[in-house]
Structure 1
């Protein structure tokens, strides 16, 4: 097969269990133009440089198509898909109740609560002989954490799984597919989740709690506040991004360790290695595989001219396995030094929820690893989610 079909093959569901041979093919090809006109980049140094290049836009409105062909979400993107200075303005407003400089201790102060939620979930598994790591543990943990951060009542947490699955499905990259119905369903889910979160926040205006939605509507900082539309898109983004990637990180971690009993035993004997093991998981089996960008002018990437506005797909997971950057890249090594992976992206759009995801993964795996000594996978490979960008098992059945 030729390099111009790589994106089509990578996003083919049949290759979801193991896209890594295709990433190796991509790195050999260099910058690969695809049959749909997009360009695919899979080498570490090129991806890292592009993520820091001000000539590259995250904003889909800079794609070289008529605005009439852009979806409603593309015309009104969240700050994750915006460029500076608007990206920085909205990111700063979103960060105020979450992290430094305004709330420097917020995430670290949640360690005890995260450990408590983890203990509750672990307790419920005590007498089980078979579990689904996704449904029984990896999904409920980060969803409960982000809902508590935002101030979503516990009884409403189940509402978000359907909305979130539909939104993530609508955002996937699938070359050559007519996505009208998928986008329509995504719009409905976005509207439903956004309306719910804004209404919840408005009920707390003037009566603030210690949650983030209360902080957003009761913030009188002279630097500005979020409009209703900005609040809706930001809250939806935080809720989805706050759990989707962490579900994959925890699940991919369990799958990786069950496939490597020597490393599982090593971490059981040396739990102090967990922080570096999570970093290695973010490199070896990252929750986010691809990001899309758009050149603001014609530009050269590794000897290939990319025309202005052409979709540029950065295969982060391929960069994480680049032998020109990482020694023995296909080996899982929880003590790997100099592990500057692309698991959370890089540049101005570096995932700002990364500190929370790291804590959740460390606590979750720390609780699960002692129980996995005699465990085995019921199905390998397990069934994967449809999405190629946010790659992870949909279910992970394990016999304990």
Structure 2
């Protein structure tokens, strides 16, 4: 048995945990989950989940789990050991278990290396001009809607289209396909939630079929007419790696292309929307940052800490261990609570205060270890660029209505943010 952490857990009432989880999925809980996360933290650093496994609320422990070699992502081998066959055998659920986020070494290492230096400094700088140009076009659309209607939905007009255009241009995906990709991405994500309903899994199953058809055909067309784009490079690499197994190469290419595309959409869109919401909710913040644009990066980092686009991720123990005094048997799932950990007062003083000038605020929003988010630098570029242009073009931007959210626990999703000037 290996001790991990030295902060004691507490005896927890199962009904209290269920109550918090139910309220988290309510409209009020989605709009402001932080008091509920504080309730969860008060139950201990390691909180038993009603269905088995544990929630981990401590920043220190979450960080150790994300970086620890003895904590693995749930993969196909783990999946096949589960007894809830309806949940874990669902086609939409299994589809995501062949992506980078659900692979462990050595397969993860091999596939990750095949991507090269994905979104490194040089690549992101090469993408900057197109991000700048597209932000300009989107804000023209926003201004047109504001003039015509007095208010506009920032999510539909700006936050959703920006990351889709960025990744679409990078992979040379036809622009006329962007709306379709966004649509099936929004529907497929149900299968990646913590407790999807039967109806949600059915929606995800249909969207999974559409997703596979789309990316399979995209790869087929690109192989027939390769170019200088990233996807063509991946095809050449995997055709060389598996010259006698075209079907196997195509399956890897599908998983990589699909994952890199959809992983960059909802999470970045929610970051962009949350960033704007947190700033315009208090007009003095928006005005101050407009006069001090040198702190835009600070505002982005504080948003990532304060309201991360992913509030929960999962790992399982590769061996029997002890986590903050709580015995954890091999194969047990732990849910790393990004949102709670980022608000741990032992790491961030006054964590429930949104403070642009916090300075050095620690967060786990992009994960850690070998599964650190590949698109972190790109998301930061998009957020910085959008905010800089918005501050210049709309100095009096403010909310026109309260934001709305999808009922989720894993992936935050702001579905509407109406703004006015």
Q: What is the DSSP-based 3-state SS (H/G/I as helix, E as strand, rest coil) of the residue aligned with 1:282?
A: helix
| Alignment-derived partner of residue 94 in structure 2 | 74
Larger mean CA deviation between 51-60 and 194-203 belongs to 194-203
2:202 & 2:359 partners in 1: Cα distance? 45
CA contact (8 A) 2:154 2:419 kept: yes
| Alignment-derived partner of residue 82 in structure 2 | 65
| Alignment-derived partner of residue 17 in structure 2 | 4
TM-score computed with the length of structure 2 as normaliser: 0.87
Does residue 138 in structure 1 map to residue 159 in structure 2? yes
Q: What is the DSSP-based 3-state SS (H/G/I as helix, E as strand, rest coil) of the residue aligned with 2:414?
A: coil
Does residue 205 in structure 1 map to residue 223 in structure 2? yes
Does residue 115 in structure 1 map to residue 132 in structure 2? yes
TM-score computed with the length of structure 1 as normaliser: 0.91
Q: 1:167 aligns with which of 164, 167, 188?
A: 188
Larger mean CA deviation between 265-274 and 73-82 belongs to 73-82
Q: What is the DSSP-based 3-state SS (H/G/I as helix, E as strand, rest coil) of the residue aligned with 2:31?
A: coil
Change beyond 3 A, Cα 1:300–1:220? closer
Does residue 214 in structure 1 map to residue 229 in structure 2? no
Larger mean CA deviation between 77-86 and 59-68 belongs to 59-68
RMSD: 2.3
Give 1:180 shift. 3.6
| Alignment-derived partner of residue 98 in structure 1 | 118
Larger mean CA deviation between 219-228 and 325-334 belongs to 219-228
Give 1:8 shift. 4.1
Does residue 152 in structure 1 map to residue 166 in structure 2? no
- Alignment deviations for residues 91-143 of structure 1 (CA, whole Å, 9 cap, x no partner): 221x227345xxx6222111111000000111122242211010011111111
- Alignment deviations for residues 308-365 of structure 1 (CA, whole Å, 9 cap, x no partner): 2222111101111110001121111222222331111111111011111000000011
| Alignment-derived partner of residue 6 in structure 2 | none
Does residue 187 in structure 1 map to residue 199 in structure 2? no
| Alignment-derived partner of residue 68 in structure 2 | 53
Larger mean CA deviation between 357-366 and 161-170 belongs to 161-170
Give 1:201 shift. 2.3
- Alignment deviations for residues 273-332 of structure 1 (CA, whole Å, 9 cap, x no partner): 111211111001111110011112222111111222222111101111110001121111
Give 1:20 shift. 0.6
1:112 & 1:145 partners in 2: Cα distance? 11
CA contact (8 A) 2:399 2:419 kept: yes
- Alignment deviations for residues 73-106 of structure 1 (CA, whole Å, 9 cap, x no partner): 437431111111211211221x227345xxx622
Q: What is the DSSP-based 3-state SS (H/G/I as helix, E as strand, rest coil) of the residue aligned with 1:322?
A: coil
1:118 & 1:308 partners in 2: Cα distance? 48
Structure 1: where are the runs of 5+ without partners? none
Q: What is the DSSP-based 3-state SS (H/G/I as helix, E as strand, rest coil) of the residue aligned with 2:405?
A: coil
Give 1:158 shift. 1.2
Residue-pair matches, total: 392
2:314 & 2:280 partners in 1: Cα distance? 32
CA contact (8 A) 1:98 1:107 kept: no
